[in-house]
Chain A
Amino acid sequence: MALRLPGFEGTGTFDKGVHPPERKEFSEDAFIEVVPTPERVVVPLIQNIGAPSECIVKSKQQVAMGDPIAKSTAFVSVPIHAPIGGKVMKTSNVTLPNGRHVQAVPIKAEGEQLEGDALMADVLGGDWPKDAADNHDPKAISDAIQEAGIVGLGGAAFPTHVKIMPNDKTTIDALLINGCECEPYLTTDYRVMLEAAGAVVCGALLAARALDAKAVVIAIEANKPKAVEAIQKAAQGTRVQVAVLKTKYPQGSEKHLIKAVMNRKVPPGKLPMDVGAAVSNVGTVVAIARAVLRGKPLTHRVVCVTGAGIRQPKNLLVPIGIRYQDLVNYCGGLTADAARIISGGPMMGFAFTDLEMPVTKGTSAMTVLTRDDVQKAEETSCVRCGRCVDVCPLNLVPSKLGIASRNKNAALAEKYHIFTCLECGSCAYTCPASLPLVQLIRMGKALVTASNK
C-alpha cells in the first residue's frame, strides 16, 4: 500500500505492530455534548510533562473562567487557568490515575457560567478563517500558545509551545497533525475532526506558520473515512494535505507516524525535530486556533466516555478538573458488569478506581471495560515463540526484557535497549502465555535507573 502523497516518501504504514479490535462503535456517532458546569472542579497544579505550575490565587478569591490560577515555573512548564467561574477553595492534594500525587486547586462554581451552546460555539464552533495564519507573526503564535497553557491533548501532555516555536537552527520539512487515534474505543479526535474540521485546519496552519514548516499534513487512519472527507473539505484551498494511513496500532505514536508519512526514522533518544518533523494532535491544534484567534486559554477539552461498562457512551466537552464521577453520572452510570475504569484507551491508559479523581489536560478519554473485556488467560510459561518480537514496533525483544526484569538483571535490560520501549502494549496484547510484559518492562526501567545512580 502506498501513501501517494506528493512530496512524501512514506508508505502509509510502519513495520510490525498489532491490530486490536477497534470498537469505535460505542461512541463514534455521538455528537459532542457540553456537560453542565459541575458544582466544583479540582485543578491539579501539574498536568504536563515537565515542571509543575505555581499557584497564584488565594483561598476564597473569586475567579472568572479563563483567569490564570497558576503560572509556569520553567521553560517546560505551562500556566493553568480557571475552567469555570467561582470561588477558589483551600489547596488540597489529589492522586491522578497515573499514580502521581499532586497539589490541586479546587474551585466552587458561583455566578453565571458560560455553558451549553454558547460554550460549544466558543471552543469548537464559529468561523475559523483559512487565511488567519498570514496575519500572525510566528513568535506571537508561539507566545499565545504558551500563555494559553496548551499541552499535547493526545495524552502525553507535553507543553506545546516547546514544540511549536520558531527555530532558526532546524528546518521543519513537515508538520504532521496526528488524527490517527489508533487506540481502540477512543473517538475524541474523530469527533473533533468531524465537528470542528475548520478549527483543525486553521490551527494546523497557525502551528505551521509558527514553525515555518514547509508542509502541513493531517494524518488519519483509513478506518475513519468520514473524518478524512470532513478534513479534506475543510482543507480545500489551503496548503494542508491529508494522509490516509493504514489502520494499525500504534500508528498514532509520534515515531511511527513520521515513518508512515515521511519514511524517516527518529533514532532512539532523538526528537522529531532532528529528522525535520514536528507532530501535534488534532485536539491540540484546535486549542491553538482558539488561543491565537480568540485569545482564550485551554480551559476545556473533549473527552470520550466509552466502553461496554458505561450506560450511555458519549463524547463530552468538559471543563478541566471535572471529577470522573460527574462524567459517569452524565453518561447514565456504570453497568452492573463494569470491571475496569481507564483514563485513556485500553492499550496505554491508566486504570483507576477512585472516581473523585479529576480530568486533566492530558485526559483523552475514559474507557470503562466489563468483566468479559478484561478477562485474561492464566499466565503460563514463556515458550520463546517470538510473537512479541514479531509485533514490537520498536524492534525490541520484549520477552528478553521481561526475563531481565524478572531476574533483576539491569545489565541485560540495558543491552536489550529497555529505554527505547514506549510501553505501547503490543507485546503483552499478543503474548500467548499472557505474560505481563509491559509491567515487567516498567519494573525493569526503574531497576536500571536505580542501579545507575
Chain B
Amino acid sequence: MNEQQAETGKGSSLQAAPSPHLSNASFTTRRMMIDVLIALVPVIVMALYIFKMYAVKQLLICLISTLAAEAIFTKMRGKPLPLMDCSAAVTGLILGLSLPGPAPWYVGVIGSFVAIGVGKTIFGGLGMNIFNPAMVGRAFVMIAFAGSMAASGYLEASVSNVDIITQATPLDSFKQSGVVTPLLDLFTGTTNGSLGEVSAIACLIGGIYLCIRRTASWEIPAGIIAAVIVLGGIANLASPDSGWTVLHHLFGGALLFGAFFIATDPVTSPLTRSGKLIFGVGVGAVIMLLRIFSGYPEGVMFAVLLMNAVTPLLNRWTVPKPFGTVKEAPSEG
C-alpha cells in the first residue's frame, strides 16, 4: 500500500492535456516534404543523366540559394530557423528542375531569393503563401531574363558535351516549325527542355509514389490530365494533320512534372476534394489554352499561378455540407 501510494504520489510526471491523447506520428509535415524529395529522385536522376554538369550546377545553385534565402529571411523576421521542415529544399529543387540547364548562375540565385522572399516569406512563411513559391521565382526570372529563359535559353551556343542542349525543345520546335518529336523520346526524356520536365516516365514514377503516399492529392493530377486529354483531343481532331496527338501533349513539356510536383503543392491548392478536382481541371484547361493559342510554347507555370489565385475562391465555393444536412439526406416522399 505504501509503495503504491508513493508511486502515485509522484504526480509531477502526470500531465493533463486536451483530447485526443493519441496522434498519428507516422505522418508529419516534415515527412510530407521528405516524400516530395524521395519522389523527385527519379526526376533528378534523369536530369543528371541527360544534362550532366548542367543539371548538377543548376540544382546545386538553386538548392543552396533557397536554403540561404530561407535562413536570411527567417532571421530577419526574428523567427526560429525552420530548415528542418525541408520545405525550402523542396522549393529549391523544384525551381532548379524547372529551369533550363544552360541558364546563367545568377538566374538560379535570383529566382531562388524571389521564390523564398516574395513567394513565401512576405506572406508569413510556410503555409501562408498564396502562390507556389517556385513558380513565383521562375516567373520573375522568366520576365527579367527573357533571353536566358525563352526558347533560345535552352540552347548552348558553344560546343557542349551534351548533344541535346543543341536541339530546340519539343514544344518550341513544334510551335515554330511543326516538327513532331517522337513519342518515345518524350516518354523517356531524351529531348531538350527544363531539367526536370523532359522525362515523362520519371515524373510518372515519382508522381504516382506521391499519390500513393497521399502526400499529393490524386485529384489534382487527375483533373489536369483529364482536361488535357479532352482539350488536346479536340485540338487533335481540329487539325489531325499536325501529328501532335494527345499523348504528345501529355508527355511533352512540363505537363506531368507540373501536374504531379507543382500543382499539388498543398499550401496553394484547395482543401476539399471537389475543390482539388476543379483546380486540376482549371490548370489543365489554362495550359491547353496557352499552348494552343498563346505565343508561348508552354503554359504550366502561368496556369498554376493563375489557379493559385483562384484557390481561395474555390475554397469558398466548395465548403462541404455537414453530415446529414437536409439537402443530401435521402428524400422521404
Measured CB to CB, the residues of A under 8 A from B are 18, 20-21, 184, 255, 259, 263-268, 270, 325, 328-329, 332-334, 336, 338-342, 346-355, 367, 369, 371, 373-377, 380-387, 389-390, 393-397, 399-400, 415-417, 420, 423, 425, 428-434, 436, 438-439, 442
Contact = CB atoms under 8 A, between A and B. Distances in A.
Given A347-B20, A395-B322, A429-B24, A381 B13 contact: no
B11 interface: yes
A351 B4 contact: no
B188 to A, nearest CB: 32
Nearest to B327: A267
7 contacts: A21-B22, A328-B8, A340-B15, A340-B21, A346-B22, A351-B15, A389-B320
Nearest to B324: A265
A393 to B, nearest CB: 7
B272 A386 contact: yes
A383 B267 contact: yes
Given A339-B14, A383-B32, A438-B20, 11 more contacts: A329-B1, A338-B13, A339-B13, A348-B19, A367-B21, A375-B25, A377-B23, A380-B30, A384-B267, A385-B32, A395-B323
B21 A342 contact: yes
B324 A270 contact: yes
Contacts of A340: 14-17, 21
**In the complex, which range does the number of interface residues on chain B fall in?**
35 or more
Nearest to A344: B19
B24 A399 contact: no
Interface string B239-274: 000000000000000000000000000110111110
Interface in B207-250: 217
Contacts of B143: none
B213 to A, nearest CB: 12
A396 B329 CA distance: 16
Contacts of A396: 320, 322
A380 B320 CA distance: 25
A266 B328 CA distance: 11
A428 B266 contact: no
Contacts of A259: 323
Closest 8 CB pairs of A and B: A425-B20, A265-B324, A381-B127, A385-B266, A333-B4, A346-B21, A439-B18, A351-B16
A325 B6 CA distance: 12
Q: Which secondary structure characterizes the binding site on chain A?
A: loop
B20 A353 contact: no
**Which of A338, A382, A386, A399 gathers most chain B CB within 10 Å?**
A386
A399 B22 contact: no
Interface in B1-42: 1, 3-4, 7-8, 11, 13-25, 27-32
B323 A393 contact: yes
Contacts of A420: 322-323
B83 interface: no
A179 to B, nearest CB: 22
B325 A381 contact: no
Nearest to B127: A381
Contacts of B87: 383
B326 A350 contact: no
Nearest to B219: A386
Nearest to A426: B20
Contacts of A436: 18
Given A381-B128, A383-B126, A420-B323, A333 B20 contact: no
A416 B315 CA distance: 11
B22 A347 contact: yes
Given A264-B330, A339-B13, A383-B126, A430 B27 contact: yes
Given A267-B325, A270-B324, A430-B27, A374 B8 contact: no
B18 A432 contact: no
B326 A267 contact: yes
Contacts of B15: 339-340, 351, 353
Nearest to B18: A439
Contacts of A341: 14
A416 B21 CA distance: 25
B323 A394 contact: yes
A267 B321 CA distance: 11
A397 B272 contact: yes
A377 B28 contact: yes
B320 A442 contact: no
B217 to A, nearest CB: 7
A31 to B, nearest CB: 23
